């Protein structure tokens, strides 16, 4: 059995994130949407301002941004008329980006291990063996744009075989800078005669798909590692729109992977779990009931306050609360900032010096990876806080 046939599952799905940027729906070919059973995206209100590529002032720093108005569907079809997108891997991002490409009428095929779980999932999603579903080797041979969406550990283990298919004139595409930036650990070094680009959606692949179907679009970053054709950035932006992005900003491979690893270990996932758990445990230790501790720690945050921040910002959320809550939050925020900043500084250094990469590759390469991962996440699910959460969520009126 080849190394490419022993790919590992994706170990991390990016947490969902969405900036408040108005979006218009992309035209999705109705016939394709019907074939895959996807609902057509709903059209959002059209903003009055002129949209498209521009330079915007972000709190005093000008940045280029790209929006889908520069890449209507007809233009995408013309631009990629001679290309075949070969989606290598069908995890979270592969699922979302692949279905969006297909719904947008572009020529896309999937490459995964035959008869594995991803193969079965792809068939359930309407990919047809021999037509647009192949082994990784065959898809890599057929594709002109090789979308390496395997897990980070699998990208490392499969590169010795995969690199023979990365030939002159093709484009190598990633959605994470991991393999390229940490090449001293992954040994992923592309040939010097291909464009190497990145589009990194700021959310899980499931969110990429959901927002596309809703007619919205995920926020994404794009980067160029190697520009052979002179059009690598243009190509990255076009693919970013084609896979379902609504708003795109420029970064570098290094900045993307540094910010991503740092963020998911911090406020997006690791920090949230740690903060929730600490607050819940102190409430319980002081005699508060499980339901009260969960409601005051998690439920109010997720159902009431965090949505206000998402829609209108932290200052609005403060103004929407009582005067007593405002005063306390304003007083204690600096205390938490001072306490957390040293932890975040250590975390960023751990990402920067490659420690987090070594840990991730070691863990993702274990033969017992899935069992070990399930053991740790099952332990979280078994915490009293989250067992209480199951009961509280079932009581939400919309669950009835």
Is residue 37 pLDDT above 70, yes or no? Answer: no
Q: Percent of the chain having pLDDT more than 90?
A: 78
User: Is 264 annotated in some ligand binding site?
Assistant: yes
- The answer on 228 and 127 residing in a single domain is yes
Check: CB of residue 138 under 8 Å from CB of residue 110.
no
Question: Is 296 part of a structural domain of the chain?
Answer: yes
Q: Does the annotation count 176 as an active-site position?
A: yes
| Final residue in a domain of this structure, among 250, 275, 310 | 250
Domain that holds residue 144: 65-250
- The answer on 282 and 222 residing in a single domain is no
pTM: 0.81
Is residue 24 pLDDT above 90, yes or no? Answer: no
Mean pLDDT of 77-85: 97
- The answer on 159 and 244 residing in a single domain is yes
Which positions ≥6 away from 144 have C-beta within 8 Å? 82, 83, 84, 86, 169, 170, 171
Check: CB of residue 238 under 8 Å from CB of residue 76.
yes
**Domains identified in the chain, total number:** 2
Q: What is the pLDDT of residue 190?
A: 97
- The answer on 206 and 99 residing in a single domain is yes
| Final residue in a domain of this structure, among 196, 226, 250 | 250
User: What confidence tens digit (pLDDT) does each residue in 240-278 have?
Assistant: 999 999 989 999 999 999 999 999 999 999 999 999 999
Question: Is 178 part of a structural domain of the chain?
Answer: yes
Burial of residue 293, with CB atoms counted within 10 A of its CB: 0-12 exposed, 13-18 middle, 19 or more buried: buried
Say which CATH number the domain at 186 has: 3.40.50.720
Angle at 282 between CA 277 and CA 287, to 5 degrees: 125
Is residue 8 pLDDT above 80, yes or no? Answer: no
Q: What is the pLDDT of residue 43?
A: 38
Mean pLDDT of 31-41: 37
Tell me the two tokens of residue 37.
Answer: 């059973």
- The answer on 270 and 233 residing in a single domain is no
Check: CB of residue 96 under 8 Å from CB of residue 206.
yes
User: Is 260 annotated in some ligand binding site?
Assistant: yes
User: What confidence tens digit (pLDDT) does each residue in 361-392 have?
Assistant: 999 889 899 899 999 999 999 999 999 999 99
User: What confidence tens digit (pLDDT) does each residue in 111-160 have?
Assistant: 999 988 999 999 999 999 999 999 999 999 999 999 999 988 899 999 99
Distance, in Å, from the CA atom of 400 to the CA atom of 297, rounded to the nearest integer, reads 23
- The answer on 239 and 110 residing in a single domain is yes
Q: What is the pLDDT of residue 40?
A: 38
Distance, in Å, from the CA atom of 112 to the CA atom of 56, rounded to the nearest integer, reads 40
Check: CB of residue 19 under 8 Å from CB of residue 247.
yes
Is residue 41 pLDDT above 90, yes or no? Answer: no
- The answer on 271 and 244 residing in a single domain is no
Question: Is 21 part of a structural domain of the chain?
Answer: no
Q: What is the pLDDT of residue 344?
A: 97
Helix (H, G, I), strand (E, B) or coil at 368: coil
- The answer on 304 and 224 residing in a single domain is no
User: Is 378 annotated in some ligand binding site?
Assistant: no
- The answer on 234 and 272 residing in a single domain is no
Q: What is the pLDDT of residue 400?
A: 66
Distance, in Å, from the CA atom of 294 to the CA atom of 271, rounded to the nearest integer, reads 17
User: Is 362 annotated in some ligand binding site?
Assistant: no
User: What confidence tens digit (pLDDT) does each residue in 268-320 have?
Assistant: 999 999 999 999 999 999 999 999 999 999 999 999 999 999 999 999 999 98
Is residue 45 pLDDT above 90, yes or no? Answer: no
Q: Which of 95, 176, 288, 390 is catalytic?
A: 176
Question: Is 26 part of a structural domain of the chain?
Answer: no
Is residue 47 pLDDT above 70, yes or no? Answer: no
Beta bridge partners of 199: 222
| Final residue in a domain of this structure, among 202, 218, 250 | 250
Q: Give the pLDDT band of residue 36 (cuts 50, 70, 90).
A: very low
- The answer on 124 and 186 residing in a single domain is yes
Q: Report the chain's mean pLDDT, rounded to a whole number.
A: 87
- The answer on 279 and 243 residing in a single domain is no
User: Is 214 annotated in some ligand binding site?
Assistant: no
Long-range contacts of 281-286 (CB under 8 A, 24+ apart): 281/385, 284/384
- CB neighbours of residue 188 within 10 Å: 22
Mean pLDDT of 97-124: 96
Q: Give the pLDDT band of residue 52 (cuts 50, 70, 90).
A: low
Q: Give the pLDDT band of residue 398 (cuts 50, 70, 90).
A: confident
- The answer on 243 and 107 residing in a single domain is yes
Beta bridge partners of 221: 200, 249
Q: Give the pLDDT band of residue 4 (cuts 50, 70, 90).
A: low
User: What confidence tens digit (pLDDT) does each residue in 212-222 have?
Assistant: 999 989 999 99
């Amino acid at each position: 059995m080849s190394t490419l046939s022993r790919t590992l599952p994706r170990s991390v799905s990016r947490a969902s994130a969405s900036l408040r940027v108005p979006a218009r729906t992309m035209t999705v070919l109705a016939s394709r949407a019907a074939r895959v059973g996807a609902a057509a995206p709903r059209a959002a209100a059209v903003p009055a301002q002129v949209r498209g590529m521009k330079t915007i002032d972000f709190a005093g720093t000008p940045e280029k941004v790209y929006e889908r108005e520069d890449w209507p569907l007809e233009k995408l079809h013309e631009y990629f008329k001679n290309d075949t997108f070969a989606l290598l891997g069908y995890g979270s991002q592969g699922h979302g980006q692949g279905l969006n490409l297909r719904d947008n009428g572009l020529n896309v095929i999937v490459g995964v291990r035959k008869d594995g779980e991803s193969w079965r999932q792809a068939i359930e999603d309407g990919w047809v063996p021999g037509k647009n579903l192949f082994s990784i080797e065959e898809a890599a041979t057929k594709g002109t744009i090789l979308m390496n969406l395997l897990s980070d550990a699998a990208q490392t283990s499969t590169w010795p075989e995969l690199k023979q298919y990365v030939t002159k004139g093709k484009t190598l595409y990633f959605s994470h800078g991991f393999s390229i930036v940490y090449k001293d650990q992954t040994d992923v070094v592309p040939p010097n005669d291909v464009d190497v680009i990145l589009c990194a959606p700021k959310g899980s692949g499931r969110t990429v798909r959901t927002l596309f179907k809703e007619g919205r679009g995920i926020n994404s970053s794009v980067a160029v590692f190697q520009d052979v054709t002179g059009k690598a950035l243009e190509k990255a932006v076009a693919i970013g729109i084609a896979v379902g992005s609504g708003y795109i900003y420029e970064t570098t491979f290094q900045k993307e992977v540094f910010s991503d690893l740092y963020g998911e270990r911090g406020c997006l996932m690791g920090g949230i779990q740690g903060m929730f758990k600490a607050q819940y445990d102190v409430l319980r230790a002081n005699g508060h009931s499980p339901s009260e501790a969960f409601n005051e720690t998690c439920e109010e945050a997720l159902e009431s306050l965090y949505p206000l921040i998402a829609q209108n910002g932290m200052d609005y959320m403060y103004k929407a609360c009582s005067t007593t809550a405002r005063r306390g939050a304003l007083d204690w925020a600096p205390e938490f900032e001072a306490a957390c900043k040293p932890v975040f500084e250590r975390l960023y250094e751990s990402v920067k010096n490659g420690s987090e990469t070594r840990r991730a590759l070691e863990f993702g390469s274990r033969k017992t990876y899935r069992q070990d991962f399930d053991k740790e996440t099952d332990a979280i699910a078994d915490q009293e806080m989250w067992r209480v959460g199951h009961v509280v969520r079932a009581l939400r009126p919309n669950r009835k």
